[in-house]
Amino acid sequence: MEVDIDSVSKGKKTQRIDKILGHLGYGSRSDIKKMVKLGRVTLNDVVVKDSGTQSHPYEDIIAVDGERVVYREFVYLMLNKPAGVISATEDTRDRTVLDLIPDEFRRFSPFPVGRLDKDTEGFLLLTNDGQLAHDLLSPRKHVPKTYEADVLGDVGEREIALFREGVCLDDGYVTLPAKLEIVGHPRQDQDRVLSRIRLTISEGKFHQVKRMFLAAGSKVTYLKRISMGPLSLDDQLALGAFRELTEEELTLLKTYKRASEDGC
Ligand code: URA
């Protein structure tokens, strides 16, 4: 699916072709000059002779070695993070979420907006839009995040009330009010009882969900994030799969950001 997500922020200006290709990770100015010299770059099906040629990155058809180059200033990816990979751009030991993203998108240097623990699954936004990431993560914005979890024991009204009031974590921090919902009935799993819950928090302390349940005397055995701000995990995305945000989702995210700014 080809989604023109950049229409929100498309500029009208032309740019040098070496600048456009440089932004897309095709190399330095001198690398691109060499590519041009070798006749590898075309602009609207005509071989480019000068790497300083002006082009409109969104409207012209630029190709390298016959492959069309799709220009984006920013990328916005929704990933269904599987357990076992870490929310980082690189790591010497573990696979990272970036290892799940093909070169076509990695060339934009996306990074995860916030962190999920290694064993947590679900919604993770990756982007190279630093401002948007900063806004979503700002503690002052209180962007809500909803998680589904399996928790040991029969979770009920006591925990709902505790989390609604704010619970004191192991370091003395008292959490903001959080909404706890119980999904279905507790179930037997071998020799233990598990409750499926949904918890919405509007802050992002380290291991927050797990620590909230520890503070309530219980333990999370499975954790998955299902939404962040106005966006929900696409249930068609298999674990480990990703897709670009749709134009509609991106607009929601950007207007949501503005709405929360207005509220401050
Ligand atoms: N809370 C946690 O405990 N872990 C996560 O990965 C996210 C929220």
Q: Dump pLDDT digits (tens) for 183-237.
A: 989 999 999 999 999 999 999 999 999 999 999 999 999 999 999 999 999 999 9
Which atom of ligand 1 lies nearest, measured to the CA of 211?
3
Distance 218 CA to ligand 1 centre (A): 15
* pTM over 0.75, yes/no: yes
Q: Is the pLDDT of residue 29 over 90?
A: yes
CATH no. for 12-68: 3.10.290.10
Ramachandran assignment for 216, one of left (phi > 0), alpha (psi -120 to 50 degrees), beta (any other): alpha
Q: Who lines ligand 1 at CB under 6 A?
A: 116-117, 120, 207-210, 223
Residues marked active site are found at 117
pLDDT for 263: 46
Q: Which pair of structure tokens corresponds to residue 132?
A: 């948007």
CA 103 to chain CA mean position, Å = 17
Q: Which of 192, 263, 255, 201 is nearest to 228 (CA)?
A: 201
For the chain, the domains span 12-68, 76-139+232-257, 144-228
Distance CA 71, CA 20 (A): 8
Q: Is the pLDDT of residue 28 over 60?
A: yes
Q: Is the pLDDT of residue 95 over 50?
A: yes
| pLDDT band (50, 70, 90) for residue 262 | low
Q: Which of 210, 211, 225, 226 to mutate to test the pocket of ligand 1 (most atoms within 8 A of CB)?
A: 210
The domains spanning 76-139+232-257 and 144-228 adopt the same CATH topology: yes
pLDDT for 2: 37
Note whether 224 and 122 are within 8 A (CB). yes
CATH no. for 76-139+232-257: 3.30.70.580
CATH no. for 144-228: 3.30.70.1560
| Percent of the chain predicted with pLDDT > 90 | 81
